[in-house]
Amino acid sequence: MTTTSPEAVAGTIQDDPEALAAQIEQQMSDTIELLGRWRDSAGKKWGQVGLGSRPAIVVIDLARFWTQPEYAAYCPGAENTVAAVNDLLGHARSAGVPVVFTTQAYQSTARGLVSATGMARKFPGSGDLALGSRGTELDPALEVQEGEHLIVKTQSSAFAHTYLATVLHDAGVDTVILTGVVTSGCVRATAADSLANGFRTIVVPEAVADHLPGAHQWTLFDISTKIGDVVPLADVNDYLDRVGASTDS
Amino acid sequence: MTTTSPEAVAGTIQDDPEALAAQIEQQMSDTIELLGRWRDSAGKKWGQVGLGSRPAIVVIDLARFWTQPEYAAYCPGAENTVAAVNDLLGHARSAGVPVVFTTQAYQSTARGLVSATGMARKFPGSGDLALGSRGTELDPALEVQEGEHLIVKTQSSAFAHTYLATVLHDAGVDTVILTGVVTSGCVRATAADSLANGFRTIVVPEAVADHLPGAHQWTLFDISTKIGDVVPLADVNDYLDRVGASTDS
Amino acid sequence: MTTTSPEAVAGTIQDDPEALAAQIEQQMSDTIELLGRWRDSAGKKWGQVGLGSRPAIVVIDLARFWTQPEYAAYCPGAENTVAAVNDLLGHARSAGVPVVFTTQAYQSTARGLVSATGMARKFPGSGDLALGSRGTELDPALEVQEGEHLIVKTQSSAFAHTYLATVLHDAGVDTVILTGVVTSGCVRATAADSLANGFRTIVVPEAVADHLPGAHQWTLFDISTKIGDVVPLADVNDYLDRVGASTDS
Amino acid sequence: MTTTSPEAVAGTIQDDPEALAAQIEQQMSDTIELLGRWRDSAGKKWGQVGLGSRPAIVVIDLARFWTQPEYAAYCPGAENTVAAVNDLLGHARSAGVPVVFTTQAYQSTARGLVSATGMARKFPGSGDLALGSRGTELDPALEVQEGEHLIVKTQSSAFAHTYLATVLHDAGVDTVILTGVVTSGCVRATAADSLANGFRTIVVPEAVADHLPGAHQWTLFDISTKIGDVVPLADVNDYLDRVGASTDS
C-alpha cells in the first residue's frame, strides 16, 4: 500500500473534475469534426435562416445565479460572456436595435401555487431563485440602460408564458439575436421557441455559456442543424452596424 | 331667454351623465329581463359549468388605477367590490384555496418595444400604467397576504402571456373563481381564456365592477350564456366553506 | 273581449320569441344611443386603432352549424353575412391580402381526452361538432379559394391553441379584419386575442352575425370602446382597394 | 498494400458515412460515460421528476416522412421504434391511459401565409410536408385505435400552437410519456414544453430515434440533466400496468 498502482493514479487523474471536463470538451470537439465529415459524405446539408432586416437582441439570464461562482448554476468563464454581450449591446444601441433582458425568478405559496411548476422538481437549485432574491439580479458588470425591458420568466424559454413574442412582433422584429446562459438550457429552449414563433434565430457563440462540459459545443452544433444560425460576434457586430447605417439614411 | 322650454330642461337632465347612466342601467335591466323571457319562449337553454372540487380565486386588477376616483379607469362603487373580495378571500384562506392577484403595468423603450402592444393604441389611459407607477399598485384596502401570487399582466386577460394557466393546472385547480375589474374588459377576457384553458369558470357579481354604464349587467348575462356561471357571493362563500371542510377531514 | 284582459294579450304577444327579439333589439339600439350621449356628457372618448398597411382577413366559423337553420347555433340572416364576406373577400384577393378561414371541431376519446375541454360543459350543441362531421363544413355559399388557410379551432378565439398569431406575424400582417359568427362569442373572443397579440383589430358589422337578440349590437359597441374599430363594409372595401393599389405600384 | 498508405485507407473508411456514424456513436458513448464520472467527481446531481399518478402517452411524428427510407428525414431503425411504441401502447390502453399522436404538416398560400413559418427556412425537406400529403401520414405499422387524438402540428414541439397542454390538463394528466421522432428535434422540443407546462416528463429511450449520429445519445443524456427522466421501456410498461391496476380497484 505504500506504492500507488497505475489504476489508482489514473483514477485520481481522471476523477479530477477539471481534467475530466477538458477531456470531455476535446472529445466533443473531435466528434463535431467527425459530424462535419459525416454530413459531407452523406450528402446532408442544413438550411441557413440568414439575417433579416429588423433584429432585436435577447439577453438570457445573465444574473448572479449563473454568473457568480458562489451560486449553483455558475458558468465558468461567465465574465467573458458578459463582456461579449456588452460589446454586442454597444453596436445594437448605436443601431437603434431593441434589447430585452431576462432573469428567472419564482413565486410560491403555502397553498400550493408554485410558479416554477415542473422546474422545481428537476432543478435542485431553483429554491435560490425566489422573486426579489439576490441570485435573480442581473450581473452588475452587464451594461443595462434605463428603459430597456427586463422580463422575469419562470421557464427555460424566454417565450414561455411571457409577452416576448408579442412585443417583438409588434415592433416589426424579424430576427432574434440570442445571447446569455446556459447554452443547452435556457438559450436552446428560447432558440427553439424563437423559431416556432417565426423569427430568424441567431446565436452568438462568444456570448453564450454553459456549466455542463461538452454541452456548449454540442448545443451550438445541434442548433445549427435544426433551429438557426450560429454567427460569430464580429460578424453580428458588423451586421448591426449595417442595420444602423441603413436606418440612419 | 327668461323662459326655459321643456325640451331644454329635458336636454339638460338627460345630458347629466349620472342621470343618463341610471337610465341606461334601468334599460339594460329591462332588456335582460326580456332576454329571459325570449330564452324561455324560444326554448333555449345554456349549460351550467358547475363548481368543481379544487377552486382558486383570481382577483383582477384591483389596483388604484381602477379603484380610486382620481384615475381615468375608476369604477364607481369600487370600495364595495373590494369589500366583497375581502369577504370572499377570508373564506378562501380558511379553506386553503389558492389566491392570485393581478395588476396591469407596461414597459416601453425609446427603441420601439412597447409591452402594451395594441392596448397603447386603444386605451388612452394606458400611459398611466408604467411598471412601478402608483396607479398599478393594489388598492390598500385589498387584503393581500404574504406569499400570495401577484402576476403583472400586459393584456386584458390574466392568462395572456402569463404563467397563470400553468400554475393553476400544476396545483390541480379545476375551478377559477373570478373577481375584480372591469367586468366587460379584463374580467370578461380572463373568463373567456379560463374556459379556453379548460377551467370551470365562475364570476361573482358582487365582486366585479365596471365603469361603462350597462356593461356590468350585460357582461354578466352574456358570460352566463356562453362562458361560465354567475354565482352570488353568499353561495360562493358557502362552497368555499364546504371545500375547506372536505379538505380538513 | 270580455274574457281576455289586456295584460294577457300583451303577455301572449310578448311571449312570441320573434316579437320579443325585435323588442330587445329596439331597446338595445336605444340604450346604445344613450351611451353615446353619456360618453359625450361625461367627457369620455375611446381611442381608434386605425387601419395599418398590411391587413389580413379572418373569417370565423362560417360553417353549417352556424349558417344553416337546421343546426342549434343558426344565426338568423347568416346568408347576408356570407354575402357580405364574399364581397369583402373579392376586394381582399384583388389586393393580394391573405385570407384565413376557421371552423370549430372536436376530437374526443373514451379515455377522457376531450379537445372541447370546458366548451363541452357550457355549450350544449358542442356534441354536433365532431371533427369531420357535416356541421363543421364551411357553408357552400362561402367562396373559398384553393390554397387559402383553413384553421380548425377548438375554442372561441381563433388564436387560442392555434398558429394564427404566428402565421400572421410571419407574413408581416399588422391589421386583422374580422368577419364571421357569432359576434358576441367567437368573433369577440378572437378580437380580444387579436388585440392581445398586437394587431390593429377591425370588425366589419355587415360581415358578422349573432343568434342572441341584442348581442350583436351590444358587442359591436363594446368592441369599439375597448378592443378595436368597427368599420363598415364599404369603407373596408375601399381600404383594401387602396392597399392593392399601393402594392401594385 | 504497396500502393495504399494507411492514412488513405483510414481516410476512405472514415469517409463512408455509415462507418463515420458508428465512430461518432462510439465517441459519444465514451463522452457520456466521462460525463457521469465528471458529475460524481464534481458533486453534481440532477433531480428526478418521478412518475405521477395520471400519465398520458404522446407519440411524436411517427409518420412516413420520418419512418420510411425514401423520405429525407428517415431515421434508421425507425421500425424498431414503431415496434417499441406499439408495445407501450398496448400497456397504455389496458390501463385506460390516454394516447395522443402527432404529425407535422403545413399549409401555404400564394399570398404569403406559410404555416411552417421559420421551419421553412431552416428545414430543407419541409416542402414535402404539405397538409394531406403522403409523407405526413402515420406509419401503417403504428397501431392507432379509433377515437385516439391526432394533432397536426406545425412546429417541433407538439405543444406549440396546439391544444395539447389544455387537453392533457383537462383530463387531469400529471405525467407525459414521450415517444417518437426525432430525439434531438421534435421530441426534445416537446419535452422542454412539457416541463414548461408543468408535467412530469418521461422519455422512453427505445421508443425514440434520430437521424443525426450522436444526437439520440446526447439528447437523452441532456434531457436527463435538465428536463425529465429517461426511463426504459420495460419499466414504463410496468408502471402503466400498476396505473391500470390501481384504476381498476
- Do B109 and A98 count as a contact with CB atoms less than 8 A apart? yes
Reduced to 3 states, what is the DSSP secondary structure of residue C138? strand
* Res B129 pLDDT > 60: yes
How far apart CA B93 and CA C176 sit, in angstroms, is 43
pLDDT of residue C122: 81
Mean pLDDT of all residues in C183-191: 98
Instruction: Enumerate the β-bridge partners of residue A86.
Output: none
Query: Which residues does chain C have within 8 Å of residue B195's beta carbon, measured at their own beta carbons?
Result: 118-119, 122, 155-156
Instruction: Enumerate the β-bridge partners of residue D153.
Output: D104
- Closest among A161, A117, A130 to B147, alpha carbons compared: A130
**CB within 8 Å of A21: residues ≥ 6 apart:** A213, D38
What the block records as the C-alpha cell of C101 is 378561414
pLDDT of residue D112: 86
**Residue D73 near chain C (CB below 8 Å):** no
How far apart CA B177 and CA A95 sit, in angstroms, is 47
How far apart CA C88 and CA A158 sit, in angstroms, is 39
Residue C139 is given by DSSP the state P
Query: Which residues does chain A have within 8 Å of residue C198's beta carbon, measured at their own beta carbons?
Result: 166-167, 169-170
Which phi and psi angles does A91 have, rounded to 5°?
-65, -40
Confidence of residue D2 (pLDDT cuts 50, 70, 90): very low
Within 10 Å of residue C172's Cβ, how many Cβ atoms? 14
Mean pLDDT value across chain D: 92
Reduced to 3 states, what is the DSSP secondary structure of residue B141? coil
Q: Where do the H-state alpha helices sit in B42-174?
A: 64-67, 78-94, 119-122, 164-170
**Tell me: the pLDDT tens digits for D194-242?**
999 999 999 999 999 999 999 999 999 999 999 999 999 999 999 999 9
pLDDT of residue A118: 83
Angstrom distances, CA of residue A93 to CA of A57, A96, A139, A144, B228: 10, 5, 19, 11, 48
Instruction: Enumerate the β-bridge partners of residue A176.
Output: A56, A201
How far apart CA A198 and CA C178 sit, in angstroms, is 23
- Residue of chain C nearest A193, judged by CA positions: C166
What the block records as the C-alpha cell of A129 is 431563485
Higher pLDDT, C122 or A7: C122
Instruction: Please count the residue pairs, one from chain B and one from chain C, whose beta carbons lie less than 8 angstroms apart.
Output: 164
pLDDT of residue C15: 83
How far apart CA B65 and CA B138 sit, in angstroms, is 9
**Tell me: the pLDDT tens digits for B17-34?**
999 999 999 999 999 999
How far apart CA A65 and CA A81 sit, in angstroms, is 14
What the block records as the C-alpha cell of D162 is 396546439
Residue whose C-alpha cell reads 422512453 in the numeric block: D204
Mean pLDDT of all residues in B117-131: 80
* Res B200 pLDDT > 50: yes
**Tell me: the pLDDT tens digits for D23-55?**
999 999 999 999 999 999 999 988 899 999 999
Mean pLDDT of all residues in C198-202: 96
Query: Which residues does chain B have within 8 Å of residue A118's beta carbon, measured at their own beta carbons?
Result: 170
Percent of chain D with pLDDT over 70: 93
Instruction: Enumerate the β-bridge partners of residue A181.
Output: A209
Which phi and psi angles does C181 have, rounded to 5°?
-135, 155
Mean pLDDT of all residues in A107-118: 88
* Res D6 pLDDT > 70: no
pLDDT of residue A13: 52
Confidence of residue B181 (pLDDT cuts 50, 70, 90): very high
Confidence of residue B3 (pLDDT cuts 50, 70, 90): very low
Instruction: Enumerate the β-bridge partners of residue A73.
Output: none
- Give the closest-approach CA distance of D193 to chain C in angstroms: 14
pLDDT of residue B105: 95
Mean pLDDT of all residues in D154-173: 96
pLDDT of residue A85: 98
Percent of chain C with pLDDT over 90: 81
- The set of long-range contacts for D125-131, using a CB threshold of 8 Å and a minimum separation of 24, is D125/D65, D125/D71, D125/D72, D125/D73, D128/D65, D128/D71, D128/D72, D129/D65, D129/D104, D129/D105, D130/D105, D130/D106, D131/D105, D131/D106, D131/D107
- Residue of chain A nearest D114, judged by CA positions: A198
Q: Any catalytic annotation for residue C186?
A: yes
Angstrom distances, CA of residue D76 to CA of A46, C25, C237, D181: 19, 65, 54, 11
Which of B14, B41, B47 has the CB atom closest to C123's CB atom?
A: B47
**Residue B147 near chain A (CB below 8 Å):** yes
pLDDT of residue D111: 86
**Tell me: the pLDDT tens digits for D73-113?**
999 999 999 999 999 999 999 999 999 999 999 998 888 88
**Tell me: the pLDDT tens digits for A150-206?**
999 999 999 999 999 999 999 999 999 999 999 999 999 999 999 999 999 999 999
Q: Where do the H-state alpha helices sit in chain A?
A: 6-14, 17-41, 64-67, 78-94, 119-122, 164-170, 188-196, 215-226, 233-248
Within 10 Å of residue C55's Cβ, how many Cβ atoms? 23
Mean pLDDT of all residues in B52-71: 97
Please tell me whether the peptide bond between B182 and the residue prior to it is cis, using omega within 30 degrees of 0: yes
**Residue D26 near chain B (CB below 8 Å):** no
**Residue B167 near chain D (CB below 8 Å):** yes
pLDDT of residue C110: 81
Mean pLDDT of all residues in A143-154: 95
Higher pLDDT, C74 or C112: C74
Reduced to 3 states, what is the DSSP secondary structure of residue A135? helix
Query: Which residues does chain D have within 8 Å of residue A119's beta carbon, measured at their own beta carbons?
Result: 195
Find how far residue B205's CA is from the centre of its chain.
Answer: 9
Reduced to 3 states, what is the DSSP secondary structure of residue B180? strand
> With contact defined as beta carbons under 8 Å apart, do A151 and A101 qualify?
yes
Catalytically active residues of D are: 186
pLDDT of residue D249: 56
What is the ipTM score, two decimals? 0.93
> With contact defined as beta carbons under 8 Å apart, do D187 and D60 qualify?
yes
How far apart CA D155 and CA D28 sit, in angstroms, is 28
Mean pLDDT of all residues in B47-75: 96
Strand D149-153 vs strand D229-230: parallel, antiparallel, or unpaired? Answer: unpaired
- Do A118 and D20 count as a contact with CB atoms less than 8 A apart? no
CA atoms within 13 A on the CB side of B224: 17
pLDDT of residue D116: 87
- The set of long-range contacts for C72-76, using a CB threshold of 8 Å and a minimum separation of 24, is C72/C124, C72/C125, C72/C128, C73/C125, C73/C181, C73/C182, C73/C211, C74/C211, C75/C181, C75/C182, C75/C209, C75/C210, C75/C211, C76/C209, C76/C211
**Tell me: the pLDDT tens digits for B95-106?**
999 999 999 999
A180 membership: H or E segment, kind and range = strand A175-181
Which value, in Å, is the radius of gyration of the alpha carbons in chain C?
20
State the Cα angle at D40 between D37 and D44, rounded to 5°.
125
- Give the closest-approach CA distance of D114 to chain C in angstroms: 6
Strand order in C99-104's β-sheet? C149-153, C99-104, C55-60, C175-181, C200-209, C229-230
- Residue of chain B nearest A163, judged by CA positions: B161
pLDDT of residue B122: 81
pLDDT of residue D123: 77
- Do D196 and B166 count as a contact with CB atoms less than 8 A apart? yes
Which of A23, A47, A196 has the CB atom closest to D123's CB atom?
A: A47
Q: Is A61 left (phi over 0), alpha (psi -120 to 50) or beta?
A: left
Mean pLDDT check: name the lowest of C104-113, C220-229, D116-125.
D116-125
pLDDT of residue C247: 79
Amino acid at A28: M
**CB within 8 Å of B41: residues ≥ 6 apart:** C15, C16, C17, C20
Q: Where do the H-state alpha helices sit in A42-170?
A: 64-67, 78-94, 119-122, 164-170
- Closest among C166, C173, C142, C220 to C53, alpha carbons compared: C173
- Give the closest-approach CA distance of A46 to chain D in angstroms: 7
How far apart CA D167 and CA A84 sit, in angstroms, is 43
Among B12, B20, B217, which would you mutate to test the C interface (most chain C Cβ atoms within 10 Å of its Cβ)?
A: B20
Which of C169, C197, C198 has the CB atom closest to A198's CB atom?
A: C169
Confidence of residue A6 (pLDDT cuts 50, 70, 90): very low
- Do B108 and A163 count as a contact with CB atoms less than 8 A apart? no
C33 membership: H or E segment, kind and range = helix C17-42
Reduced to 3 states, what is the DSSP secondary structure of residue A146? coil
> With contact defined as beta carbons under 8 Å apart, do C185 and B226 qualify?
yes
Confidence of residue C192 (pLDDT cuts 50, 70, 90): very high
How far apart CA D220 and CA D206 sit, in angstroms, is 11
- Closest among C157, C142, C120 to C63, alpha carbons compared: C142
**Residue D114 near chain C (CB below 8 Å):** yes
Residue A134 is given by DSSP the state G
Three-state secondary structure string covering chain D:
CCCCCHHHHHHHHHCCHHHHHHHHHHHHHHHHHHHHHHHHHCCCCCCCCCCCCCEEEEEECCEHHHHCCCCCCCCCCHHHHHHHHHHHHHHHHHCCCCEEEEEECECECCCCCECCCCHHHHCHHHHHCECCCHHHCECCCCCCCCCCEEEEECCCCCCCCCCHHHHHHHCCCCEEEEEEECHHHHHHHHHHHHHHCCCEEEEEEEEEECCCCCHHHHHHHHHHHHCCEECCHHHHHHHHHHHHHHHHC
Percent of chain D with pLDDT over 90: 81
Percent of chain C with pLDDT over 70: 93
pLDDT of residue A122: 81
pLDDT of residue C249: 56
Subunits with 3+ C-beta pairs closer than 8 A to B: A, C, D
How far apart CA D3 and CA C162 sit, in angstroms, is 63
- Give the closest-approach CA distance of D146 to chain A in angstroms: 30
- Tell whether the torsion through CA atoms of A29, A30, A33 and A35 is positive or negative: negative
Which phi and psi angles does A153 have, rounded to 5°?
-110, 165
Query: Which residues does chain D have within 8 Å of residue B53's beta carbon, measured at their own beta carbons?
Result: none
Mean pLDDT of all residues in C156-183: 96
- Do C115 and D168 count as a contact with CB atoms less than 8 A apart? no
**Tell me: the pLDDT tens digits for A41-64?**
999 988 899 999 999 999 999 999
**Residue A114 near chain B (CB below 8 Å):** yes
**CB within 8 Å of D245: residues ≥ 6 apart:** none
Confidence of residue C12 (pLDDT cuts 50, 70, 90): low
* Res C117 pLDDT > 90: no
Mean pLDDT value across chain C: 92
List C62, C138, C186, C203, catalytic entry: C186
Catalytically active residues of B are: 186
Among A89, A91, A163, which would you mutate to test the B interface (most chain B Cβ atoms within 10 Å of its Cβ)?
A: A163
